[in-house]
Amino acid sequence: MDRDRKILLLLIFTSLIVPAILIVAMFTWAMDAIDIEIQALFLCIMVPIIALSAYMWATGKGAMLIAGYNTSPRSVRDMYDSRALAKYTGKVVTISMVIMLLAMESIFIFRKMIVFWALLIASIVILMAGILYMNKSKRFLKEGVTSAEPLMTPEDRKLNRNVTIVGLVVTAIIIIAVIAFMGSGSVSVTLGDDDLQVKAPLANVDVPYQDIESVEYRENFDTGRRIGGFGGTEICSGNFQNDEFGKYKLASHTSVPDHIIVHYSGGVLAFNLDTAENTQQTYEELLSRVSYDGAR
């Protein structure tokens, strides 16, 4: 078996086994099912892309996977060093996608979104700069060839231009969708006849009053860090961890520092409403209901 085939088999194995190992690890860490599903989606999409681009980087094969190059006529493709082009493209895509995967994973690890945005912007800049350099540089032309433009027909140029435009549009849509996603979400609190219901992205907690051990009101509550949940610009929710409670559930408006802390038989729940006034009002109403039901 030659070296290139060994590399390909190794990367295929890696793209299958790495997501599987991480998904199993998430189950052992007792992460929420929704968290696992989202992370699994990221891993199963991005790890194979990273593996394929790493193969191109390592072997110089796979140039026909490059948009623009694969749509060019044979006479134009023959003017390029396909091996050098594939290795360069593989390197750019591998580095960019690894950084993008880290950016996506940082959503579930860090509370502050600055890490996500820094990594995402770095990934996009590397990818777009690499594509621009690849299209404008003569580095990938074979020796003695000064330009491939004379052999390209107007239809070829139009097709390549359309491919580039589509790529930019898709990138813009992804960025806009991510921004919209980070700014979405809400915290819904319902004081029912028998239970407290708190709903937020990746957090859906139903606590019977009889299971509540104590309720307290905290100003400037330290939410700690996210270990599996949602971290938008306005809402943070899901599984969080701090020094005081360890792992607990959070449903929080980021603009409101005050929180209601509920200790119950299933753990700790911290939540607030869209204003400190509404949070205080809900706290007082919850106290009356818990006290009425005889909770400690």
pLDDT for 214: 93
Full-prediction pTM beyond 0.75?
no
Q: Tokens 């991480």 sit at which residue?
A: 22
Please, which residues have CB within 8 angstroms of residue 113's CB and are 6 or more apart in sequence?
107, 182, 231, 232, 233
pLDDT for 96: 92
Bridge partners of residue 156, in order along the sequence: none
| C-alpha–C-alpha distance, residues 277 and 253, integer Å | 13
Q: Tokens 């949070």 sit at which residue?
A: 279
Q: Give residue-wise pLDDT tens across range 123-155.
A: 988 988 888 888 777 788 887 766 655 555 666
CATH class of 188-292: mainly beta
pLDDT for 294: 45
pLDDT for 153: 61
Q: Give residue-wise pLDDT tens across range 183-216.
A: 557 899 999 999 999 999 878 899 999 999 999 9
Token readout for 81 is 């060093």
CATH 2.30.29-classified regions of the chain:
188-292
**Within the chain, which residues score under 50 in pLDDT?**
292-296
DSSP helix/strand/coil, 182:
helix
